[in-house]
Amino acid sequence: MTTLVPFVDLKTQYRSLRSEILPRVTQVMEDATFILGPDVARFEENFASYLGSRHCVGVESGTAALQFALEAFGIGPGDEVIIPATTYIASAVAVSTVGARPVLVDVDSTYFMDPNLLDAALTPATKAILPVHLYGQAMPMEPILEFARRHDLVVIEDAAQAHGARHNGRCAGTFGHAGCYSFYPAKNLGAYGDGGAIVTDDAAIADRLRLMRDFGQRKKYEHLVKGTNCRLDSIQAAVLDVKLTHLDDWNAARRRHAAAYDARLSDLGIATPVRRSDESHVYHLYVIEIEHRDRVASALRDRGIQTGIHYPIPIHLQAAYAELGLTRGAFPQTERSAERVLSLPMFPELTEEQIDLVTGALASAQALVVA
């Protein structure tokens, strides 16, 4: 079956950007400024200013951003970090990579860590809390910040899916001590390869992060700390700097598509994603919950419509996290949604016709699975 509606469509986006992107990328090659060239500094400055943060440090991925942020705040072996049970594995892996232990808490109906469950997760070893702005919705941060203040915890936000999402006018990723972003190609702001960044208002932390990503050197061959090689590369920074100027328009387009889905799905009696406010969601993913999810997804595939599942197996049930000693039943909300979530095609260039194809196919699939 040929694909009628892809899950994301990066090729169409590239065609519309080619004339802006190629000169910037070519310039990096002409100037041979591949490593920490002016494009990196320029993008860091522009991204920080877009978000309303003082500093931005580009690194090689979103996972590296999380890991570095934790490390920069001194989180390591013996420490515990509270994370939501529903998130991409990277949020947990970053904690494990620095030698700390991820402590999972269940989520609420908006897939955010449930603030009511934080007290139970707290131990004397808790050093940080890592809320995730999942699917592109900015999490209301007040209860998290309050809890962190009360218990003297570092707040590292995982905003890997939420570029430009705002809560009360403020961007996701700028509420805590540091915010981490991924520029994986399919993200709302995506590179043409891997990339990531940390933003913070703390100049000393930003300085430490810059040392950590480049062998601990401020001056070539003078290594002040044992840093590593984890830099955002200049070609990716050049691409991102062009794309950043389109981010608000793309996010607005995603919101329009979400509203169109909302209207059509309500007619079908399918529950639509819970939205906190008009500007809180940038719909990195448009996620519904549905009975017989796998059969519905397969019926859509038969009609040429790609979908995704974010995420089919919760972290505590992954072989990689057997060490947590948790079994089915530990996080009911997370486990229930893992069986029901279905991500519909969502990208700025999506057309009305494609949305009609998706919702038409959903209507038929529903009739099929119920019959």
Ligand X SMILES: Cc1ncc(COP(=O)(O)O)c(C=O)c1O
Binding site for ligand X (CB under 6 A): 61-63, 87-88, 90-91, 132, 158, 160-161, 182, 184, 194, 196
CB of 194 to ligand X, least distance (A): 6
Residue 79 — φ and ψ, nearest 5°? -95, 155
Supply 298's token pair: 């397969």
**Residue with the shortest CB distance to ligand X:** 62
- Residue (61 or 366) nearer to ligand X, CB: 61
CB of 101 to ligand X, least distance (A): 18
Q: Check: CB of residue 164 under 8 Å from CB of residue 11.
A: no
Reference 100, options 317, 323, 315; nearest CA is 323
Specify the DSSP class assigned to residue 309. Answer: -
Tell me the residue type at 133: H
CB of 244 to ligand X, least distance (A): 16
In whole angstroms, what separates CA 189 from the centre of its chain?
10
CB of 88 to ligand X, least distance (A): 4
- The Cα–Cα gap between 143 and 124 comes to 20
CB of 258 to ligand X, least distance (A): 18
Specify the DSSP class assigned to residue 366. Answer: H
Specify the DSSP class assigned to residue 274. Answer: P
CB of 97 to ligand X, least distance (A): 11
- Residue (140 or 355) nearer to ligand X, CB: 140
- Residue (148 or 232) nearer to ligand X, CB: 232
- Residue (153 or 162) nearer to ligand X, CB: 162
- The Cα–Cα gap between 224 and 217 comes to 6
The length of the chain, given as a count of residues: 371
Cα angle vertex 266, ends 262, 268, to 5°? 125
- Residue (61 or 126) nearer to ligand X, CB: 61
- Residue (80 or 158) nearer to ligand X, CB: 158
